[in-house]
């Protein structure tokens, strides 16, 4: 059994301002670094063998923080980079909607049929992403591997694992530093965890080594809504 810990990168300034990032190489903000550090400190498993990462800085730095915590190597794979949003990169939803109203609506209603202007389709992203995923699984049998990547490509990989059509990828929320766990048993795939950000509401007591929830009310009342947060 090979276990993959699929992780979305920490927050960036473009995330905070609602800009489409895609393959623009935007670094983590201080908040994003803090999120990655909390994840490394409160990681969902006690052992990993290595980290694979997108070649984009925001994912690589997230992975590097985790790799340092576990003292394991980190390997870049450009096939894990985010979907190319082409002409939309650096723009907000409102700016895109003003110029490409039909296309942006199509991306959310039927994402399986759209190719971004000067960019990629989600089918193309899923193809290269699944190839990378299966290469990693075949190369590292019986290991536990962290993969740091991006919201768009992670949705396509989870859709593959869940046998879900790409049309429904927006039902799979992926917050910054969200953790997903997928286990490969030969040809069978078990999805064990989806979009967990529990590490962001945990604090560790040094002497006791135990975890306690904080900000519980905030997380109980946190609302999932359809805005620019879905694609950043």
Which residues are known to be catalytic?
9, 82
Question: Could you tell me which of 62, 83, 93, 95 has the C-alpha nearest to residue 129?
Answer: 83
β-bridge mates for residue 207, sequence order: none
Distances (CA, A) of 196 to 43, 125, 175: 11, 23, 8
Helices (H) and strands (E) in the chain, counts: 8, 8
Task: Quote the tokens at residue 176.
Answer: 């910054």
Report helix, strand or coil for 74: strand
Question: Could you tell me which of 5, 49, 7 has the C-alpha nearest to residue 141?
Answer: 49
Which residue spans within the chain are E strands per DSSP? 2-8, 50-53, 74-76, 144-149, 179-185, 188-196, 202-204, 211-213
- What's the rounded Cα separation, in Å, for the pair 212 and 29? 26
β-bridge mates for residue 3, sequence order: 144, 183
- What's the rounded Cα separation, in Å, for the pair 95 and 16? 16
Task: Quote the tokens at residue 89.
Answer: 């990169």
């Amino acid at each position: 059994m090979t276990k993959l810990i699929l992780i979305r990168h920490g927050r960036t300034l473009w995330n905070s301002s609602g800009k489409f990032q895609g393959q623009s190489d935007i670094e983590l903000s201080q908040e994003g670094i803090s999120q990655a550090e909390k994840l490394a400190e409160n990681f969902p498993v006690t052992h990993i063998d290595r980290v694979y990462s997108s070649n984009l800085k925001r994912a690589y730095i997230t992975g590097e923080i985790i790799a340092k915590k576990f003292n394991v190597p980190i390997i870049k794979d450009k096939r894990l980079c985010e979907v190319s949003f082409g002409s939309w990169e650096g723009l907000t939803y409102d700016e895109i909607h003003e110029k490409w109203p039909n296309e942006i609506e199509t991306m959310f209603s039927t994402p399986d049929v759209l190719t971004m202007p000067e960019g990629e389709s989600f089918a193309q992203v899923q193809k290269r992403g699944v190839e990378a995923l299966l290469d990693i699984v075949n190369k590292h049998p019986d290991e536990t591997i962290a993969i740091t990547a991006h919201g768009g490509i992670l949705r396509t990989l989870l859709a593959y694992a869940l046998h879900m059509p790409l049309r429904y990828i927006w039902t799979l929320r992926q917050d910054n530093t969200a953790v997903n766990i997928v286990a490969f048993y030969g040809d069978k795939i078990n999805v064990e965890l989806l979009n967990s950000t529990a590490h962001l509401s945990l604090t560790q007591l040094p002497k006791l080594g135990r975890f306690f929830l904080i900000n519980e009310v905030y997380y109980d009342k946190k609302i999932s809504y359809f805005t620019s947060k879905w694609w950043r």
